[in-house]
Amino acid sequence: MKILNVEQIRQLDQATITYEPIAPIQLMERASQAFVDWFMSRYDAFTPVKVFCGLGNNGGDGLAIARLLLQANYIVEVFVVRYAPRESDDFAHNHRRLKLLINPHYVENPGDMPTLRQRDVVIDAILGSGISRPAEGLVKMVIERINRAPAQVISVDIASGLQANQPNQSDDVTIWPDHTVTFDLPKLALLLPGNARSVGEWHMVDIGLNQRFIDQAPTPYYYTTEAEARLLLRRRERFSNKGSFGHALLLVGSYGKIGAGVLAAKACLRSGVGLLTVQTPGCGYVVMQTAVPEAMCRPDVDDRLLTGPSDVDGPSLADYAAIGVGPGIGKAPETARFLREVLTNFSKPVVVDADALNLLSANKDLIGLLPENSILTPHPKEFERLTQRWQNDYDKLELLREFAQRQQVVVVLKGAHTAVALPNGEVHFNSTGNPGMSTGGTGDVLTGLLTALLAQGYDPVEAAVLGVFAHGMAGDKAAQVRGQIGLTASDVVESLHWAW
Ligand SMILES: NC(=O)C1=CN([C@@H]2O[C@H](COP(=O)(O)OP(=O)(O)OC[C@H]3O[C@@H](n4cnc5c(N)ncnc54)[C@H](O)[C@@H]3O)[C@@H](O)[C@H]2O)[C@@H](O)CC1
Ligand SMILES: Nc1ncnc2c1ncn2[C@@H]1O[C@H](COP(=O)(O)OP(=O)(O)O)[C@@H](O)[C@H]1O
Ligand SMILES: [K+]
């Protein structure tokens, strides 16, 4: 699914109006109805609703929402924030219609603000995606009052004051909603960690905007939906054998961190690999053979570190279908030398995670050795070490895109809405996963999973987008069983499920 910028959304509204065709006011009615359907499925008619409206089209939505809720017998009060003499045409139209049902209150100074109680639900329709400057004066006062109140807050389309696709200044005032109900397509701002407070939980409602316009609109930003991920998933051929699904090699673990390797190995096996060999330091041999009997194990001649040689024979490095390296390996110089050897002798894409990324950061010339289309899976701190410190989330996104394009690799920047940056400059934000996954080892699971997809011959771009989605989906499934608090990385492995 595409993520469009504000200018494109404006053009999209226009294209819908022109080609459907539909009157602008009808489109506003459709958006408001979609919001109301969402609202009524969650809040009953005894909920005291207070709708705060600005004077643009977001305010127009608010007025129409109030009317539709009143017609459904909800208890609704409307507060129009009169911060300017001008109002949009569609606002004025809905204002006239609403006044046939109730008289709105007008907020012109602080004394006009109502007391907001805990059981009130505030609908925030003050400013939408059309803002062109920070909230100030009366609007700022109203936003601050709402934020201080104990009431629940639901923002229409986007929190008032939040910019949809560019950074806000640190002292900008925005609504801090519990929920954002956004129209048709996600906005970039909803996906960025720095905006967490200005977004809350967000939901998308369909208002049927012009699909042909969306299909043609250029954008580097995408949001992976379940339907899109499912299209990437391959069936297993009836007459297949284990050779059909590749032989993967995982280079994992160091003394005290063999568990990271166990998690990666289990995830790899649960993600369809044909054969798996795991190389661990000598101390990991018994652990691996016991915990993961399906995997073959090559113990390193060094008992505590990965250094390369093993007294167990196996295919030469170049013969593996895919290699995943990093979980638990540490940053010893011997391991750095081995990583250099791997990157020099293996020409297919590799999955690089954790300490392997830190070794790249400490030895920047190794970055140039990465096989084309390799998948790097840094969390933000690892990505900062690879590149530099950023000013804000937008700056970070640019660094991410620039790095993936310059190095011709896929970078999976992990976190809520993991961003998968592709060598062609696109960024695909993930839609699955939950804060229960913020626990040690879940990243190691992703490394094993991605290595399995590469071994099976998935294109690295597709492997990254699909793998990140499936990993988050497993996390969501595990959270259903355990709750987010009790979730562990092993639960994520056990919840991996590849038929959806
Ligand atoms: N066809 C349409 O026009 C549709 C519009 N929709 C709604 O329209 C919204 C966008 O509406 P608008 O473009 O009218 O803009 P907004 O309602 O977001 O903003 C209000 C207007 O106030 C002015 N303004 C900008 N920054 C301000 C600030 N900091 N303080 C005070 N005033 C400021 C601008 O003139 C702006 O157009 C969307 O977020 C969505 O809610 C939906 O109804 C879907 C259809
Ligand atoms: N709040 C969150 N929402 C969604 N996914 C998350 C969240 N926190 C962490 N994750 C996911 O969990 C994984 C954590 O990986 P990482 O930070 O490498 O942990 P570790 O190194 O301990 O395994 C990533 O895939 C990340 O996207
Ligand atoms: K709003």
Rg (CA), the chain: 26
Query: What integer pLDDT is reported at residue 443 of this predicted model?
Result: 98
Statement to judge: residues 359 and 413 lie in one domain: yes
* Per-residue model confidence (pLDDT) at position 500: 87
Give 439 Cα–ligand 2 centroid separation in angstroms. 7
Domain termination residue (choose one: 175, 192, 217): 217
Average pLDDT over residues 362-368: 97
pLDDT tens column, 50-105: 999 999 999 999 999 999 999 999 999 999 999 999 999 999 999 999 999 999 99
Residues 209 and 197 sit within 8 Å (Cβ to Cβ): no
Closest atom, ligand 2, to C-alpha of 379 = 17
- Is the per-residue pLDDT at 465 higher than 90? yes
Ligand 3 center from residue 452 Cα (angstroms): 44
Are 206 and 252 part of one and the same domain? no
Of 151, 185, 217, which closes a domain? 217
Ligand 1 in contact with 436 (CB < 6 A)?
Answer: no
> CA triplet 222, 12, 83: central angle to 5 degrees?
105
| Pair 203, 241 in one domain | no
Q: Is residue 70 within 8 Å of residue 100, measured between CB atoms?
A: no
Residue 171, pLDDT score? 95
Q: Give domain status of residue 176, yes or no.
A: yes
Same domain? 213 vs 247: no
Judge if 196 and 252 occupy the same domain. no
Q: Which-ligand-closest: CA of 445?
A: 2
Closest CA to 49 of 31, 63, 60: 63
Domain check: are 151 and 259 in the same one?
A: no
Is the model's pLDDT at 398 over the cut of 90?
Answer: yes
Ligand 2 atom with the shortest distance to the CA of 433: 4
Q: Which two tokens stand for residue 117?
A: 């109680």
**238 and 210 within one domain:** no
Least confident residue range of 60-64, 211-215, 241-245, 486-490: 241-245
Specify whether 110 is located in the same domain as 237: no
* pLDDT tens, residue by residue, 11-52: 999 999 999 999 999 999 999 999 999 999 999 999 999 999
Whether 237 and 183 share a structural domain: no
CATH classification at residue 454: 3.40.1190.20
Q: What are phi and psi of 404, to 5 degrees?
A: -60, -40
Beta-bridge partner residues of 222: 2, 428
**Ligand 1 atom 39: the closest Cα is on which residue?**
128
Question: Once rounded to an integer, what is the mean pLDDT over residues 291-313?
Answer: 97
Tell whether 319 and 345 lie within a shared domain: yes
Last residue of a domain, one of 168, 191, 217: 217
Ligand 1 pocket residue status of 205, Cβ below 6 Å: no
Does ligand 1 have an atom closer than 6 angstroms to the CB of 128?
yes
- Residue bearing the CA closest to ligand 1, atom 3: 57
**In terms of domains, do 193 and 287 share one?**
no
Nearest CA to ligand 2 atom 9: 438
- Which of ligand 2's atoms lies nearest the C-alpha of 446? 25
Output the ligand 2 site: residues, CB below 6 A: 354, 379, 414-416, 418, 433-435, 437-438, 440-444, 446, 471
Q: Which amino acid is at 427?
A: V
Cα 353 to Cα 470: distance, rounded to the nearest angstrom: 18
- Measure the CA–CA gap between 396 and 173, rounded to whole angstroms: 22
Of 52, 57, 143, best ligand 1 pocket probe by most atoms within 8 Å of the beta carbon: 57
**Which CATH number goes with the domain that contains 64?**
3.40.50.10260
- Residue 222 domain flag: no
- Ligand 2 pocket: which of 262, 266, 438 to mutate (most atoms within 8 A of CB): 438
Checking if the pLDDT of 114 tops 90, the result is yes
When divided into structural domains, the chain yields a total of 2
Q: Write the residue with the smallest CA distance to atom 4 of ligand 1.
A: 28
Residues near ion ligand 3 (CB < 5 Å) are: 58, 124, 155-156, 160
* Residue 463 within any structural domain of the chain: yes
CA distances from residue 261 to 121, 167, 266, 295, 479 in whole angstroms, order as listed: 48, 39, 9, 11, 23
Question: How far does the centroid of ligand 3 lie from the alpha carbon of residue 121, in Å?
Answer: 14
Is the distance from the beta carbon of residue 124 to the nearest atom of ligand 1 less than 6 Å?
no
Q: Quick one: three-class SS letters along the chain?
A: CECCCHHHHHHHHHHHHHHCCCCHHHHHHHHHHHHHHHHHCCCCCCCEEEEEECCCHHHHHHHHHHHHHHHCCCEEEEEEECCCCCCCHHHHHHHHHHHCCCCCEEECCHHHCCCCCCCCEEEEECCCCCCCCCCCHHHHHHHHHHHHCCCEEEEECCCCCCCCCCCCCCCCCCCCCCEEEEECCCCHHHHCHHHHHHCCEEEEECCCCCHHHHHHCCCCEEECCHHHHHHHCCCCCCCCCHHHHCEEEEECCCCCCHHHHHHHHHHHHCCCCCEEEEEECHHHHHHHHHHCCCCEEEEECCCCCCCCCECCCCCCHHHCCEEEECCCCCCCHHHHHHHHHHHHHCCCCEEECHHHHHHHHHCHHHHHHCCCCCEECCCHHHHHHHCCCCCCHHHHHHHHHHHHHHHCCEEEECCCCCEEECCCCCEEECCCCCHHHCCCCHHHHHHHHHHHHHHCCCCHHHHHHHHHHHHHHHHHHHHHHHCCCCCCHHHHHHHCCCCC
Q: Report the C-alpha gap between 321 and 329 in whole angstroms.
A: 21
Quick check: 237 pLDDT over 90?
Answer: yes
Q: How many residues are present in the chain?
A: 500
* 293 lies in the same domain as 168: no
Containing structural domain, residue 148: 6-217
- Is any atom of ligand 1 closer than 6 Å to the C-beta of 450? no
Q: Measure the CA–CA gap between 405 and 424, rounded to whole angstroms.
A: 6
User: Is 500 part of a structural domain of the chain?
Assistant: no
Residue 223 covered by a domain: no
Compute the mean pLDDT over every residue in the chain, rounded to the nearest whole number.
98
